[in-house]
Amino acid sequence: MNAAPHRVAILVYDGVTLLDVAGPAEVFKEANRFGADYRIVLLSPTGAAVTSNLGVQIAVDGAVSSEPAFDTVLVAGSDLYPRARVPDDLADAARRPAAVAGRIASICTGAFVLAAAGLLDGKRATTHWRVAHELAARCPTCRVEPDAIYVRDGATYTSAGVTAGIDLALALLEDDHGPRLARDVARALVVYMQRAGGQSQFSAPLQGPPPRSPALRQITDLVTANPHGDHSLTELAKHLNVSTRHLTRLFHDELSTTPARYVENIRFDLARALLDQGHTATQAAILAGFPSYESLRRIFARKLSISPAAYRRRFSTARRANAG
């Protein structure tokens, strides 16, 4: 373990998502039980307590301006700022400690705060898939990767939806102390270590805006909610009381795919998520709705050029092989 304590600052503000704060903080706190020495400090732009998205008041240790340099600065997310402009004082509160921090990271929509502070310019980044297109619009020089759990670009890290903050914190812990401690912490918190940064977010089939047609939205919601159901073209058309030809045209015009390929893609992403979570290839095939392991193997070979078992082995730790 390092001799000097590792100082972690988490920037919070009114409307902050509580789990974005608690999840990563719990990872570092648990690491201390195994011999690490993380000192966690909660900061707000002014030093005043803030109110989370759940209405819970969060007491802070001080203002950004009153604290010395940190080894790691985490910016938590909020539902507010994908919908509205990030206030200048909040962007400045992220920019100031980032200038002297060893590394800067955002949780979920905290990426919007980093972007407003100019900290994502020219960098790769991610955020929740629902708002990835908005992040790309606000930060045109940033290369947004909506399919990633987390992304590292140099000393800047961004992560996807709220629970991905735990994945990111485990990856930071692994960078600091190696995979053994990260695995011990993951085991203690009863979370999985398999979700590497480059893996797909669970809801990857739903990236981007929803279909314009209400009828097609019914179908996509139906398939996503129950991927192992009977979703043949005939059954899907029957569900909407339309012809198979009309349904096929809707999928082609709005999603540039066929109903069969759409169902297959959802089942593929579900099987991949199940493999990430530690299920065997056979279990993943059954739970995702594939008729057999062989059918799952064929789609993995076509899409990834590897077998499901090889995919499962490849993502055995939280470390990204291609971390920048």
Please give the positions annotated as active site. Answer: 108
Pick from 63, 74, 141, 71: nearest CA to 111 = 74
What residues form DSSP beta bridges with 156? 104, 153
Residue bearing tokens 């955002």: 106
Apex CA 226: angle with CA 144 and CA 186, to 5°?
Answer: 55
Q: Are 128 and 110 in contact (CB under 8 A)?
A: no
What residues form DSSP beta bridges with 42? 10
The Cα–Cα gap between 181 and 319 comes to: 13
The Cα–Cα gap between 288 and 270 comes to: 6
Report the greatest alpha carbon distance in the chain: 69
DSSP state of 4: S
- The residue type found at 35 is G
- For 220, the 3-state DSSP assignment is helix
DSSP state of 154: T
The Cα–Cα gap between 68 and 71 comes to: 10
